[in-house]
Structure 1
Amino acid sequence: MKRGIRAEDLYRLKFVSDPQVSPDGGRVVYTVKRINKEKNYESHLYICSLSSGASVQWTTGSHIDSNPRWSPDGKRIAFVSDRTGKKQIWIISAEGGEAKQLTSSDGGASNPVWSPDGKSLLAAITVKKESDESDRLQPLEVTELQYKADGRGLLKGEYSQLFLIHSETGTQKQLTSGPFDHFDAAWSPNGDRIAYCRSRPADDTVSYASDLVIRQLGGEEKTVSNGTGAFTNPVWSADGEYLAYCGQTFEYGSATLGNLYAVKLDSGETLCLTRNFDEHAGDALIGDMHYGHPAPKPAWSKNGSGLYFIASLNGCSSLHYAALEGKVAQVTKRDCHLYGYTVDAENDFAVFAASSPVIPGDLFYASLSNLAEEVRLTDVNKAVLSEIALSHPEEFRFTNDEGRSVQSWLMKPPRLDEGKKYPLVLEIHGGPHAMYGNTFFHELQLLAASGYIILYSNPRGSFGYGQEFVKACMGDYGGGDYRDLMSALNHALEHYDFIDPEQLVVTGGSYGGFMTNWIIGHTSRFKAAVTQRSISNWLSFYGVSDIGFYFTKWEIGNHLFEDPEKVWHHSPLRLSSRMEAPLLILHGEEDYRCPVEQAEQLFIALKQQDKTVKFVRFPKADHNLSRNGDPGLRVARLQYIVNWFDEQLENVASKGGPTLENTASDRF
C-alpha cells in the first residue's frame, strides 16, 4: 500500500526546468534540480534525444549547473556553475567531456548569450564598488529609497554589467556601466546590435522598474521603452525588423496585467500584441517547488507573424500565440503549470516544462500544429512517487457577492474513509496578485496526507480572471477578498459532508499571512492558525519593507503620511484583542520583504494579552524560505505547521471546548 507524502520527501523530489532545443532540432538540454541533504541544492544538465526520448546526464557533482545555452553550430553548450565558488560561465562540448571555465569574476557571472557567429558571448557580471577590503566594520551611507532587497540584503553599490566574452580565450570587454543593473541581453540577427534591460535609477519609486535599451556594438545606446513600467525578455525577429518584449506599465501597480509588445525598429511604432487579451501575459501560478527557474523569452513563429508566450488564466499557465495584428490564441490545452518552454518554429514543435498537482515538474513534447502529438519526455520522480499516494484536487466554483465566479479547489486525504469527518485547512496564497492552480504543491500534499481537507481559492485580487478582478482588492484589503474566502469556506461546508465544521484551521504566507491575521481578528470560526512571513502593521511596513514605500500606496491606497488612519485600519495588529484562535507565527530573520518586526509586534501584542501564541524565527531565512530556503529549515517549517494544527485540535477535543460560531461574521 502506498504511503502519504512526508515533509522529508522534499529531499528526494526532483524538478525539471529550462529546456533549450538544439539548433538542428534533434536534442534538448535541460536542468534537473534536487536537494542534497548534506550539501543543500544541486542542479545538473541533461540532454534528451527527441528521436529516442532517452535522456543522458551531462554534468555531475555537488554544485548548481544552470542556464544551459547551445552555441549556434550546436557543438558547445554554455552554462552557469558555482563549482568553483561564485557562479561563473562554463562551456562544455555537446558530445561530452570536461567543462571549461570561461569567467572568473569576483562578483560572479550569469546569463550567457551566444553571438550569432558563435565567437563571443554576452554575460552579466556583477561589478563591485571599490571599497576598503579589510575585515573591519564599516558604516553604510544610505541616501536612496532603494537601499535593500529581499534575498540580497543591503545594497552596497554592486551592479550587474554586460560583458562581451570571447568564447575560446575568455577575453572580456565591458559594454555597460553606471549605477544600474543590466540584464536579459539579446543579439540582433546579424550581430551588430544588442538589446537588453536596464534598471531605473535607485531613487525611482518602484524597485523593479526597468527600461528596454538597444546598443550598437561600440556605439551609442537608445531607450526603446516609454519609461513607465518594467520591461524584460527582449527577442529579435529573424529579419531584425522587430524587437518583441514583455512588460507592464504599473497602471494598477502590481495588479497590472503583463503584456507582450513588439516595436517596429525603423519607425519606432510599438504594438501591444495582447491589447485585446484580458489576461496576464506571464506565469502567475505559485507553488513551493518552482522558485528560481528562468522565465522563458517569447519565441517568434516561423514566418515572423507573431510570437509564442506564457499566459496565466483559470488556474493554469499555458503556451499562447499572439499575432502582430493583436489576435491571441491558446496553444497548449493541458490543465497544468507550464513554466518553461523552447520552440523550434522551423520544425513546428515545442518542448515545455510543466507541473500538475501530481507531477512536480517534467518535460513534454508538442507539435505546434497538431496538439494530439503531445508526448511526455521525462518522469524524473517515478521512483519516489511510486511509493506515495498523492491527492488529486477537486475544482469547484461559486458566485461571489459581486456576481463573479471564484475558482477554488478541495484536496482530500489520499484515502478518505466513508462516514468520517475531517478537519479543514484554509490555505491562502501570497501576492495577493498571484494564482493558485494546477501545479504541484508539496505543502498542500503534506497536509492532505496528514489527514486534513485542504481548501484553496483565488479570491478577488488574484491573477487569471481579467484586469478588473485582479485589481479588485486594491484599497480594500480585508473587505471583498475576505468575503470571497469565507464564501469559499461556506460553499465547501454546504457541499461536502466529510468536513467537520468544528475543526477549521487557517494558514497563509505573505499576503496570505496578512489575511490569516485579519481572519482571526474578524471571526472565531477557526480553532487554530499559522501565519507565515506576514504583514501585521502597515504603518511600520511602509518604512521597513524593501517595497513598502510604494507597495503600501498601491495596495492600501495611501502613503503613511497621507492617511495614517486608513493605513492603520487595514493593519491586523489593531485587531489583536479580538484574536482568539491559537496562533503560530513563522518568520525568517532576514526577510526584507515582510521584515521580522512584523512578527515581533504581533507576538508581543498577543503574548501581553495572555493569548495562546508561539513565535518561531528561522535564522538566515528570507521571504522565500518555503521555496528556496535552507532545506532543513524548509522541512522544519512544514513540521511546525502540521504539529501546531494537530496539537491545537487535540487540545480542543480533550477540553470539550465550546462550539465556535459557524458564520462569516465580519466585525469591522
Structure 2
Amino acid sequence: MVQNKRGITAEDFYRMRYTSDPQLSPDGKAVAYVQTMVDDDRSYRNHLFIQSMEDRTVTALTEGAVRDTSPRWSPDGSQICFVSKRSGTSQIWLIDAKGGEPKQLTRCKTGAANPVWSPDGKHIAFSSMMTADDSFEELESEEKKEAPKKAIVVNRMKYKSDDFGYVYDTTKHIAVVHVETGEITPLTKGDYLHTVGAWSPDGQWLAITANRVENTDTQHSVDVYLVPVGGGEWKKLTRSMGTFFFPSWSADSKKLSYMGSESPTQLIATQKKLWVTDLESGIQTCLTADWDVQVGDSTIGDVRSPGHPNPGGVWTTDGAGMYFIASERGNSGLYHATLNGEITQIVGGPRNIYGFSLHAEQNKAVIAVSDPFTPGDLYEVDLLTGEEVRLTDVNRELLAELELPEPIELEYEGQDGWKLHGWLLKPVGHKADQKYPMVLQIHGGPHSMYGNTFFHEFQLLAANGYAVLYTNPRGSLGYGEKFVQACCGDYGGNDYLDLMSAVKYACERFDWIDTDRLGVAGGSYGGFMTNWIVGQTKLFKAAVTDRSICNWLSFYGVSDIGYYFSAEEIQANPFDNPEKLWQHSPIRHVANIETPLLIMHGEQDHRCPIEQAEQLYIALQHQGKAPVSFIRFPGASHELSRSGDPVQRVLRLQYTAEWFDTYLHQTEKVVME
C-alpha cells in the first residue's frame, strides 16, 4: 500500500463534495455553480458559489442549512435566480450577483422550479406540479391547509411516479413571473405534464416539451412546442413519434435544436440524437443520424444523483453549429456538430463530462467532470485549442488520504462473437503472490453504461480486499443502436452470457483472482440480473441484490412504468403472453438458489416496488435452503443508492461489504462455466 494512505470507507461519503450545474456569467468573467455536501447532522446541503474566471477567487453566495440549486444569471449579470426550499417548499429566489440576502420571488402553493430568464430580464418562466383545483396562488397558511384525504379516486394508469410520489390528480404547468411585481401569468393548462425549455432570443416564444396526446397513459411520446408568450396559437415541431427534450435556440431565433429519438416502437431502448428545426421552412433535420453514438451523458455513478441539468445543444454565435455532450464506450465528452452533420470531439478522454456552460463569443466553456479518482469538479476549456484549466478541487483533503486503484480496461469476446468492454479494479494493497476474491457488479437500466467515473461502492470493495469487475453487457448505451436494443425480449439470455463471459475472461487473465470466492451484486436491472444469475449457477458464493425485480408478471401492474416498460423490454404483457413474462422472471428459478443472498429495498420505491423483494425473500425463507437476509429502508425510493438519505446510503454500503466479508471465504472448488 502507498505509504500514509488508506482505502476508502463507507463513512467517507459524509465528507465528499461535488460540483454541478456550472453557469457562466453573460460577460464570461465568472461562473456560478452548485456544491453539494453532507452536513454534520447527516443532511444534504446545496450551496451556491461564484468563481472569478480572471483571478480565480471563490465566493460563497449562499450558506447554512439550505438546499439551493439551479443558479441562473439575469441577462445583465446583476442578479442570480435560484431554486430553494428555505421557506419550506421549492420556490424561486433572487440574489444580487455580488452577494447579500436572497429575496423570495414566488410563493406558489405547489412550489416552483426550473427557472428561465426572459431575454429582457423582466420575467422568469418556471414550472409547478399542481392538481386540477390548484393555481399559482400564494401558499396556504397552516390553518387553511386541507386535512389528509380519507379516500382517493384513481382514474388513470400513470398515477404514481418514483420522482414525484403519487400523482393521481397532478399535472405540471408553466407560468411566467414578473421580476419586479411578482405577478404570475399561467402559460399552460389541461391534464398534461409540461417542462420548461428555453426562451427565444427575441422574447416572443417559449420552447417547451410536453406529452399532450389524446391518451397519455398509452401514448408516451414527448413533443416540442413553441408557446407564444403574449398569447396565441402554439406551434408543434415534432410528430408524437418519440421523446424529445432540452430545446435550445439559435441566436437569431430562426432555428431550434433539441435532443431525443424518433421511433414509433422504441421509446426506451434507443439512442438519443441531436435534432434541428428550421422555423422558417419547418424542415426538421437529425444532425447525428449517421453517427451511431448516444447524445447526452449516460454514465452511472453513485456519488452524484442522476438527472443533473443538461443544457442540450448550445449554439455557436453564427448559428452554424452547436456543442453537446455524448457518451461512447464508457466515456462522455464535449462535442461540436455543424448543421451538415460534421462532428468533432472538443474534449474527451477516460472520464465523465456530466455538464457544461458555454460562452460562445469568447470560445470558452466550463465543464463538470468526474473520473475514477474525482467525484465532481469544474474545468475551464478553450474551445479552439481544447486546452483545460482546473477551477475546483473540492475533495483535495479527503482524496489525499486515500489509495484509489486505477481501473484496468478490458476488451473481450462474448456470445456470438460480440465485442464487449469493461473494467477491473485491483484490491487496495494488491500483492502478486496472493489470491483475492472478486465481485461482479451489474448496472441498472439496462440502457445506461458503466464508465470512467467515480464509484464509491467499487472503491469501498477494493479497499476491503476485493477485485471489482464491472462491464457493459448488451443492452448498455455507448456501443451503438444495435447493441442497446439487443437485450429486448431476451432478458436473462445473451446479456446473462455476456456477464458470465466477463467473469471467465477476468479469471483466466488474472491468476490472482480466487475463483472459489466470487460474488455478484447489482441494483434495479442489475438486481434482476443478480437474481437471475444465482438461479442459473452456483459459481458465486455470495450475492447482493437491491431495488430488484424478480417477477415480471407482478411488476407489470405495480411499477410506475411497468405496463409499458414490460411491453418494450420483455416484449410481453399478462393478457397476451403471460408465459413469456414468467419465462424471464428470476423467481421461476428460486428453487435452484443456494447462494447466500442479501436483499435490500426501499419501502417507497415506485419503480421496482418492494413487493418484488418481499416475494423473493419469502420464497427463499420458505425453502430454508440458502442463507438470506432482507433489509428494508423506510421512506426510500428507487434513488436509494444515488440521491437517497445519506445515512441510508452509508448503511447500504456497510451491509454490502459485511455480507461479502461473511460469505466470500475459502470453499470447495467450482469449475468455471
TM-score higher than 0.5: yes
> Match for residue 68 of structure 1?
71
> Match for residue 331 of structure 2?
316
Question: Greater CA deviation, 538-547 or 135-144?
Answer: 135-144
> Match for residue 422 of structure 2?
408
> Match for residue 79 of structure 1?
82
Map 1:141-540 to 2 at 5 A.
141-200=153-212, 203-205=215-217, 209-217=221-229, 218-250=231-263, 251-291=265-305, 292-371=307-386, 373-540=387-554
Is the partner of 2:98 in helix, strand or coil? coil
> Match for residue 135 of structure 1?
147
Identify the match of residue 54 of structure 2 among 51, 56, 67: 51
Is the partner of 1:253 in helix, strand or coil? coil
Deviation at 1:173, TM superposition (A): 1.1
Does the 8 Å CA contact 1:299/1:309 hold for their aligned counterparts?
yes
Q: Using a 3 Å threshold, how does the CA distance of structure 1 residues 543 and 156 change in structure 2: closer, same or farther?
A: closer
Distance in 1 (alpha carbons) for counterparts of 2:168 and 2:155 = 12
Is the partner of 1:287 in helix, strand or coil? coil
**Any idea what the Cα deviations from partners look like across 1:444-466, whole Å, max 9, x if unmatched?**
11111111100000011100010
Distance in 2 (alpha carbons) for counterparts of 1:495 and 1:333 = 29
Q: Using a 3 Å threshold, how does the CA distance of structure 1 residues 34 and 647 change in structure 2: closer, same or farther?
A: same
Distance in 2 (alpha carbons) for counterparts of 1:76 and 1:149 = 34
Distance in 2 (alpha carbons) for counterparts of 1:516 and 1:154 = 29
Distance in 2 (alpha carbons) for counterparts of 1:38 and 1:464 = 39
Q: Using a 3 Å threshold, how does the CA distance of structure 1 residues 540 and 214 change in structure 2: closer, same or farther?
A: same
Identify the match of residue 633 of structure 2 among 601, 605, 618: 618
Identify the match of residue 113 of structure 1 among 112, 116, 125: 116
> Match for residue 646 of structure 2?
631
Deviation at 1:37, TM superposition (A): 4.1
Identify the match of residue 16 of structure 2 among 13, 16, 24: 13
Distance in 2 (alpha carbons) for counterparts of 1:209 and 1:630 = 32
Identify the match of residue 26 of structure 1 among 22, 29, 48: 29
> Match for residue 139 of structure 2?
none
**Any idea what the Cα deviations from partners look like across 1:7-40, whole Å, max 9, x if unmatched?**
1111110010000111111111111001124151
Does the 8 Å CA contact 2:332/2:348 hold for their aligned counterparts?
no
Q: Using a 3 Å threshold, how does the CA distance of structure 1 residues 123 and 82 change in structure 2: closer, same or farther?
A: same
Does the 8 Å CA contact 1:146/1:207 hold for their aligned counterparts?
no
Distance in 1 (alpha carbons) for counterparts of 2:42 and 2:506 = 43
Distance in 2 (alpha carbons) for counterparts of 1:153 and 1:395 = 39
Question: Greater CA deviation, 180-189 or 504-513?
Answer: 180-189
Map 1:570-581 to 2 at 5 A.
570-581=584-595
TM-score normalised according to structure 2 size: 0.95
Distance in 1 (alpha carbons) for counterparts of 2:595 and 2:40 = 35
Amino acid at match of 2:94: I
Gaps of 5+ in 2: 135-143
Deviation at 1:86, TM superposition (A): 0.5
Distance in 2 (alpha carbons) for counterparts of 1:203 and 1:453 = 49
Distance in 2 (alpha carbons) for counterparts of 1:458 and 1:76 = 44
Distance in 1 (alpha carbons) for counterparts of 2:349 and 2:282 = 37
Question: Greater CA deviation, 501-510 or 286-295?
Answer: 286-295
Is the partner of 2:347 in helix, strand or coil? coil
Gaps of 5+ in 1: none
Is the partner of 2:417 in helix, strand or coil? coil
Does the 8 Å CA contact 2:436/2:514 hold for their aligned counterparts?
yes
Is the partner of 1:160 in helix, strand or coil? strand
Distance in 2 (alpha carbons) for counterparts of 1:237 and 1:206 = 34
Does the 8 Å CA contact 1:37/1:631 hold for their aligned counterparts?
no
TM-score normalised according to structure 1 size: 0.96
Is the partner of 2:580 in helix, strand or coil? helix
Is the partner of 2:631 in helix, strand or coil? strand
> Match for residue 668 of structure 2?
658
Is the partner of 2:361 in helix, strand or coil? coil
Aligned residues: 657
Distance in 2 (alpha carbons) for counterparts of 1:160 and 1:136 = 21
Amino acid at match of 2:254: E
Amino acid at match of 2:188: T
> Match for residue 95 of structure 1?
98
Is the partner of 1:521 in helix, strand or coil? helix
Distance in 2 (alpha carbons) for counterparts of 1:466 and 1:549 = 26
Does the 8 Å CA contact 1:390/1:414 hold for their aligned counterparts?
yes
Does the 8 Å CA contact 1:20/1:30 hold for their aligned counterparts?
yes
Question: Greater CA deviation, 423-432 or 45-54?
Answer: 45-54
Amino acid at match of 1:85: G
Deviation at 1:334, TM superposition (A): 2.7
Deviation at 1:169, TM superposition (A): 2.1
Does the 8 Å CA contact 1:352/1:364 hold for their aligned counterparts?
yes
Deviation at 1:72, TM superposition (A): 0.6
> Match for residue 544 of structure 1?
558
